[in-house]
């Protein structure tokens, strides 16, 4: 299926190439390519567009579904999208190979990776995983850090039984009772389980066991940073204000997504998934959305080198993976 472009109220369709189109009487037509199909985390972009926050910054925003962080990052690197919403691990992996992409703001400061189960099973800590069956996808990001999680939690491989399959297969395994636990993201797959069964889900967060890699955020091409710095500043300002506005009205943010695509999900779980996302925005209470720092990126790179097979030279290239130069300052209210 082709990627979908979402337009709320007014705006044009998909732009074939990211050449900026602006006149004295029109806004810059800008593409944001998401990391995946629509889920709650994406709500701020739709809400900000609906509120006119991007329009106020002279941006005609077009939001496009993605097919994975790696694919979206490649599109930004090839200049077929202005901005991408991708995982920092993909930025590091591509950056170490010379991809001309840079993170301009990280939205999720805490990683959503989790071992999750239906709340009724009363699996609340890593120790509760002993003797349980865990559904995972071979080779995905979570399976790569799973050994590190076991080590941090003082568990052995033999303490759990693994069943493996693709993303939908592992969901089905938990839904059908063939597995007790799913390795997934607390703001996404947990909502898919709830949508399918109506049951609440409890996540054991990897970050609570010392495994925290900053996650999804905005990326842009190096040429965009150098050639259109004002556009990047305006985009990041609008994105920051959109996230802050959506935090204050999660229900309305979910409505904005559903107005753009009625098949985006169910109102209840879109809202809940977004609210879970907002709990991952900050390490400190005064931190604005998208603001990260070198220490957080360093911790992420260290984890990727130790457990993700990334070349150790990445540790010497932190500054090439991200910048905070285009983010707005501290909030005034």
- Residue 277: half-sphere exposure toward Cβ, Cα within 13 Å: 31
Query: Does 18 reside within a domain?
Result: yes
Residue 98: what pLDDT?
A: 94
Residue 14: what pLDDT?
A: 38
Query: Does 332 reside within a domain?
Result: no
Q: pTM for this one?
A: 0.88
- Going from the C-alpha of 250 to that of each of 43, 47, 246, 314, the distances in angstroms are 8, 9, 5, 37
Does residue 218 sit in the same domain as residue 204?
Answer: no
In the listed set 209, 235, 259, which residue is the last one of a domain according to the structure?
209
pLDDT grade for 4, boundaries at 50, 70 and 90: confident
For residues 174-186, give the mean pLDDT: 96
Give me the CATH number covering residue 148.
3.40.190.10
Does residue 192 sit in the same domain as residue 258?
Answer: no
DSSP-derived 3-state class of residue 66: coil
Query: Does 228 reside within a domain?
Result: yes
In the listed set 168, 185, 209, which residue is the last one of a domain according to the structure?
209
Number of domains in the chain: 2
Residue 7: what pLDDT?
A: 52
Does residue 196 sit in the same domain as residue 224?
Answer: no
Give residue-wise pLDDT tens across range 27-53.
899 999 999 899 999 999 999 999 999
Say yes or no to pLDDT of 190 above 50.
yes
For residues 266-288, give the mean pLDDT: 94
Does residue 124 sit in the same domain as residue 271?
Answer: no
DSSP states of 52-81:
THHHHTTEEEEEE--S-HHHHHHHHHTTSS
Give residue-wise pLDDT tens across range 64-88.
999 888 899 999 999 999 999 999 9
Residue 199: what pLDDT?
A: 96
Give residue-wise pLDDT tens across range 230-257.
999 999 999 999 999 999 999 999 999 9
Does residue 244 sit in the same domain as residue 123?
Answer: no
Does residue 77 sit in the same domain as residue 23?
Answer: yes
- Mean pLDDT is highest, among 23-27, 96-100, 291-295, for 96-100
The answer to whether residues 64 and 283 touch, using CB atoms and an 8 Å cutoff, is no
The pair of three-digit structure tokens given for residue 285, joined into one six-digit string: 């209470």
The pair of three-digit structure tokens given for residue 242, joined into one six-digit string: 């959109």
Residue 145: what pLDDT?
A: 83
Residue 12: what pLDDT?
A: 35
Residue whose tokens read 């005609």? 60
DSSP state of 290: B
Domain that holds residue 91: 5-110+213-321
Q: What is the average pLDDT score of the chain? A: 90
Report which secondary-structure segment, H or E, holds 233: helix 229-248
The pair of three-digit structure tokens given for residue 248, joined into one six-digit string: 């204050």
**Adjacency order of strands within the sheet including 181-185:** 161-164, 133-136, 181-185, 113-118, 201-205
Does residue 218 sit in the same domain as residue 205?
Answer: no
| CA-based radius of gyration for the chain | 20
In the listed set 179, 209, 239, which residue is the last one of a domain according to the structure?
209
Does residue 267 sit in the same domain as residue 202?
Answer: no
Residue 331: what pLDDT?
A: 57
Give residue-wise pLDDT tens across range 12-25.
333 444 555 554 45
Does residue 188 sit in the same domain as residue 268?
Answer: no
Residue 67: what pLDDT?
A: 87
Query: Does 326 reside within a domain?
Result: no
Query: Does 20 reside within a domain?
Result: yes
Query: Does 218 reside within a domain?
Result: yes
Residue 16: what pLDDT?
A: 41
Query: Does 41 reside within a domain?
Result: yes
Q: How far is residue 250's CA from residue 333's CA, in Å, rounded to a whole number?
A: 19
pLDDT grade for 148, boundaries at 50, 70 and 90: confident
Does residue 220 sit in the same domain as residue 131?
Answer: no
Q: How far is residue 68's CA from residue 144's CA, in Å, rounded to a whole number?
A: 17
Say yes or no to pLDDT of 119 above 60.
yes
Does residue 160 sit in the same domain as residue 223?
Answer: no
Residue 39: what pLDDT?
A: 94
Does residue 102 sit in the same domain as residue 222?
Answer: yes
Query: Does 155 reside within a domain?
Result: yes
């Amino acid at each position: 299926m082709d990627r979908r472009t979402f337009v709320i109220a007014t705006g044009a369709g998909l732009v074939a190439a990211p050449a900026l189109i602006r006149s004295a009487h029109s806004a810059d037509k800008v593409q944001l390519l998401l990391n995946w199909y629509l889920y709650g985390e994406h709500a701020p972009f739709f809400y900000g567009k609906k509120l006119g926050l991007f329009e106020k910054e002279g941006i005609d925003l077009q939001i496009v579904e993605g097919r994975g962080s790696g694919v979206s990052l490649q599109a930004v690197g090839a200049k077929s999208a202005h901005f991408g919403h991708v995982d920092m691990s993909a930025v590091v992996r591509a950056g170490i190979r010379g991809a001309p992409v840079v993170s301009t703001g990280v939205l999720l400061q805490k990683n959503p990776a989790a071992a999750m189960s239906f709340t009724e099973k009363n699996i609340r800590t890593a120790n509760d995983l002993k003797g349980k069956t865990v559904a995972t996808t071979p080779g995905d990001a979570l399976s790569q850090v799973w050994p590190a999680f076991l080590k941090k939690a003082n568990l052995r491989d033999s303490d759990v039984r693994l069943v493996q399959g693709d993303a939908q297969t592992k969901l089905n395994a938990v839904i059908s009772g063939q597995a007790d636990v799913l390795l997934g993201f607390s703001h996404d797959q947990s909502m898919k389980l709830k949508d399918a069964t109506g049951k609440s889900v409890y996540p054991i967060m990897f970050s609570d066991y010392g495994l925290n890699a900053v996650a999804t955020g905005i990326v842009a091409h190096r040429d965009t940073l150098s050639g259109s710095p004002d556009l990047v500043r305006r985009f990041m300002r609008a994105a920051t204000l959109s996230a802050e506005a959506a935090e204050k009205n999660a229900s309305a943010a979910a409505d904005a997504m559903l107005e753009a695509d009625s098949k985006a999900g169910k109102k209840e779980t879109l809202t809940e998934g977004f609210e879970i996302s907002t709990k991952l925005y900050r390490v400190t209470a005064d931190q604005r959305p998208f603001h990260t720092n070198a220490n957080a990126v360093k911790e992420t790179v260290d984890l990727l080198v130790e457990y993700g097979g990334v070349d150790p030279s990445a540790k010497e290239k932190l500054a090439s993976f991200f910048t905070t130069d285009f983010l707005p300052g501290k909030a005034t209210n």
